Amino acid sequence: MTTDLSHAPASPASSPLASPSASPAARLDVAGELLALLRDTGTEPRPDVQLEALTLAVAADLPVLLWGEPGIGKTAALTQLAAALDLPLTTVIASVHEPSDFAGLPIVGEDPARHGVPLAPPDWAVRLVQAGRGLLFLDELSTAPPAVQAALLRLVLERRIGALQLPPGVRIVAAANPRSSAADGWELSAPLANRFVHLPWTHDHEVVVRGLGGTWPVAELPRLDRDKLPGAVEFARRAVCGLLAARPRLVHRLPENETRRGGAWPSPRTWEMALHLTAFATAAGSSREVLSLLVRGTVGDGPGLELLAGLDRMDLPDPEDLLADPAAAELPERGDLRQVVLDGVVQAVRNRPGKARWDAAWTLLVRALETGAPDLVVVPATTLAALRQENWDVPASIEKLSGAVALSRRADEAAARTTQRAGAGR
């Protein structure tokens, strides 16, 4: 009987890794092939808010600081980002350098009394200048002592190392662990923290699982619409300047807490950064989530949320335009914004009353009732009814609203009674 051995497993002697006669170099070659297969991963377009925020800030040429726990993937994200953007990656561990490594190493020349002592830049800075472009990754920033952080100030803001000026094609991204999880960590100094866009870096379960399976999300620079550039700049300036004109205390607010000083807080510098990011996000058509991450990571949560609320109000329709053609009015989908619009229309009628304007406001409230939540028209309808003058006839459209108003009031009264009974039962 003939046995077919073509599909039989190879004997141990036939395997270079298992063969007793295989040299150590041959065995390492096989191990290298396995490592190459493990590193052979692909990418795919996938919505990723924090990755989009990172690439938008990089496109805006603003220094970014990624905050995340050890092992969360900050370094891997930067490596993938550099490869996707075709930028040479230069990694510098800030904590293992001396202040002179960033300020410049003094070199004594032929005649120091005449020419002074020049400050020579480190080799990695020279390579970046020679390349003309690159991604400078300052890792483990929160483990850098205060003296090193002070030396980094000029590098991060002015892009200067000693007498060397980094070219415009170099982008700066840093990474840090919270002090609680950093190895011998320090709080970030307020001057250095105020130079960064702070982005929290967390893991997405689905991204990790799919990435370990061989496919990671791809980092892409935002696609800026050239036709939108002038409008985006005007929109961003109007939003930031409008907020600061109304809230002058937000221009500069240094936190009293040392830990908060090491994060995002408002200053003229960071408001300029927020303005740039708003313009970039507008021109790129970025989502609200992306813009929220960026502005809150620049001026802090409170001021950032106020700016976002102002941006929402800037997009709202003019009450006068709505009163001019209420039947064709386009109202916001979000309930809070729709409530603001309706209240603005009623206020416009109050400021300049007239029978035609009063009737138009009722038509608009009916349209709001037909296209949204009924409870949103209760307060505006009640206020508008109180503006009626004696010689104004009641429009027929009020009949459509009266049922919704009465139903809403009964629901409120029932809820109040339920709350009252619950309180009495305690």
Same domain, 413 and 329: yes
Please give the Cα distance from 130 to 167 (Å, whole number).
9
Q: Bridge-partner residues for 174, per DSSP?
A: 65, 138
Same domain, 411 and 289: no
Residue 402: its pLDDT value, please? Answer: 67
In-domain check, residue 15: no
In-domain check, residue 367: yes
In-domain check, residue 414: yes
- Structural domain total, the chain: 3
Same domain, 232 and 375: no
Rg (CA), the chain: 31
Domain hosting 262: range is 226-314
Please give the Cα distance from 199 to 294 (Å, whole number).
7
Same domain, 210 and 230: no
**CATH number for the domain harbouring residue 151:** 3.40.50.300
Which pair of tokens denotes residue 334? 């979000």
Same domain, 284 and 333: no
Residue 348 sits at φ, ψ, to 5 deg, of -65, -40
Residue 13: its pLDDT value, please? Answer: 45
Same domain, 151 and 266: no
Residue 425: its pLDDT value, please? Answer: 58
Mark which of 217, 241, 269 sits at the end of a domain.
217
* Cβ pair 66, 74 in contact under 8 A: yes
* Cβ pair 118, 162 in contact under 8 A: yes
280 φ/ψ sector (left φ>0, alpha ψ -120 to 50, else beta): alpha
Residue 131: its pLDDT value, please? Answer: 92
Residue 382: its pLDDT value, please? Answer: 84
Same domain, 280 and 360: no
Same domain, 283 and 325: no
In-domain check, residue 187: yes
Mark which of 161, 190, 217 sits at the end of a domain.
217
Same domain, 395 and 366: yes
Prediction pTM value = 0.74
In-domain check, residue 338: yes
Same domain, 234 and 324: no
Same domain, 249 and 328: no
Residue 308: its pLDDT value, please? Answer: 93
Same domain, 238 and 201: no
pLDDT profile of the chain (426 residues), mean per 10 = 47 50 84 91 85 94 92 83 89 87 75 70 90 93 89 90 88 86 75 95 85 84 91 94 90 91 95 97 93 97 93 84 87 85 90 91 87 83 87 77 57 54 60
In-domain check, residue 17: no
Mark which of 276, 295, 314 sits at the end of a domain.
314
In-domain check, residue 64: yes
In-domain check, residue 308: yes
